[in-house]
Homo-oligomer: A and B are copies of this chain.
Amino acid sequence: MVTSTTDELKAMGGVSGPNDQALRARAKAVIPGGMFGHLNMGHMPADYPQFMASGVGARVVDVDGREFVDLMNSWGPVILGHRHPVVEEAAARQAALGDCLNGPSERMVELAERLVGVVSHADWAMFQKNGTDATTLCCTIARAATGHRKILVAKGAYHGAAPWCTPVEAGTTAEDHANLVRYIYNDLESVRAAAQSVAGDLAGILVSPFRHDAGFDQELVDPTFARGLRQLCDETGAALILDDVRCGFRLHFGHSWQPIGVEPDLSAWSKAIANGYALAAVLGNDRYRAPVQTLFTTGSFWCSSVSMAASLATLDVLEREDSVATMVAKGTQLRDGLDAQARHWGYPIRQTGPVQMPYLSFVGDDDRAVGTLFAASALRHGVYLHPRHNWFVSAAMTDADLALALSATDAAFEELREAHVEIGPPAS
């Protein structure tokens, strides 16, 4: 809820450039609604371009040539920066041999070995294309191993967009969700109650490394909660499934609960593992090796080698350059800078989640109206961020990128102030 005059707010808004507008019109004719999914800008301020042209390092350029410091990084896949030269070179070298063949190449074995070496709980790996493929396969493996049906998932958590897990009910059936039971993140009692409610039919507990629900302040995991899940799985024989699709390799060079010493049985990966190349993975421990061999899942491109070569290169750079530390350092500077700016301009904000996956909200801005104005203004001043979803800091961010990002957010705070934007009481 924003308190300001309509004219002042209107004056703040813009629209994306003429090339973007022209493409939106063409898209509307041949794509339902002009776009779909999480990259649909239909619910974002009109300033946001729907169509992008290019990216390099921490910068992206839209189809009208507007360049932005990128704080979304393709919603997670880009971790080392766009078109990282080491990754691109590895991908091109593999592409010159072959990508999708009658079998995998040596890259698959190398990558499985590498992941097993890096991720503490993993004894084996399998590969897919989508994060949803990986979370789905984890559930299937848990069911095959236990002979049980029920999977516990946190209320509000996002684990993909297949009918069993999409947050929107349209087109799905009651049967699609029949085997999910909800618990509250970080509330061990709610998990125990959920497990009890399906005692004898519990296959697994699916959990994110931290609570990163879109539209809400983020919540780090309580290590006691994580340990409690592990214990509950040990007691019941259920699989502990860590959905590391969004966080994987951003929080730790390994799975995201390694630092707190809690080992899942299965983990789901995608997004950043190949720096933007389409790849997903399921990692598991030896208890689940035999059950995997009883099931059948596959895809036409699951053995393609270019994305695996890209992943191997990505892992090399992540390790060699200690990219997690870089992202933490840059994320900390970003958070500190934003805090100082908010204080300076007199806007109460909350920054939650890990610094390398920042989430910013304005206190009292329940409908995200102020946050949305802020994001649109920041975009116009040169930084691409999001008002209702966590951001992603890449390891490519230079001091110059950070300075530009902070100068854009400072200008956005100033613009809010000059337009007399106040966070008003909610409409009643």
Contact = CB atoms under 8 A, between A and B. Distances in A.
Interface of A: 23, 26-27, 29-33, 35-39, 41, 49-56, 60, 62-63, 70, 72-78, 82-83, 88, 91-92, 95-106, 108-109, 112-113, 116, 123-126, 129-133, 136, 139-144, 149, 161-164, 166-168, 170-173, 175-176, 178-179, 245, 270-271, 276-278, 284, 288-304, 307, 384
Contacts of A77: 100, 300-301
A414 B102 CA distance: 26
B32 A297 contact: no
B277 A300 contact: no
Contact of A161 (B27, B167, B171, B299): B299
Given A31-B126, A129-B299, A162-B162, 13 more contacts: A29-B124, A30-B125, A32-B290, A37-B296, A52-B101, A52-B102, A92-B92, A100-B276, A131-B300, A136-B163, A140-B172, A175-B175, A270-B300
Contact of A30 (B72, B88, B116, B277): B116
A118 to B, nearest CB: 12
Given A104-B39, A126-B32, A297 B27 contact: no
A244 to B, nearest CB: 13
Contacts of A70: 102
Contacts of A116: 30
Contacts of A102: 39, 52, 60, 70, 72-75, 384
A245 to B, nearest CB: 8
Contacts of A62: 103
A42 to B, nearest CB: 9
Contact of A129 (B129, B164, B296): B129
Contact of A300 (B55, B88, B271): B271
Contact of A276 (B99, B108, B302): B99
Contact of A53 (B105, B112, B176): B105
A54 B299 CA distance: 20
Contacts of A175: 149, 175-176, 178-179
A75 B300 contact: yes
A276 B91 CA distance: 15
Given A53-B97, A102-B39, A116-B30, A278 B301 contact: yes
A-B residue pairs, 6 tightest by C-beta: A37-B298, A144-B171, A168-B296, A140-B171, A278-B301, A52-B101
B130 A133 contact: yes
Contact of A36 (B27, B39, B82, B126): B126
B36 A298 contact: yes
A76 B125 contact: no
Contacts of A91: 95
A96 B96 CA distance: 15
A297 B277 CA distance: 19
A60 B109 contact: no
Nearest to A301: B278
30 contacts: A23-B109, A27-B112, A30-B113, A30-B124, A32-B288, A32-B293, A38-B298, A39-B104, A39-B303, A51-B103, A51-B108, A52-B98, A52-B101, A52-B104, A53-B97, A54-B97, A60-B102, A63-B106, A75-B102, A78-B100, A82-B101, A99-B276, A136-B163, A143-B173, A161-B299, A166-B296, A167-B296, A170-B294, A277-B301, A278-B301
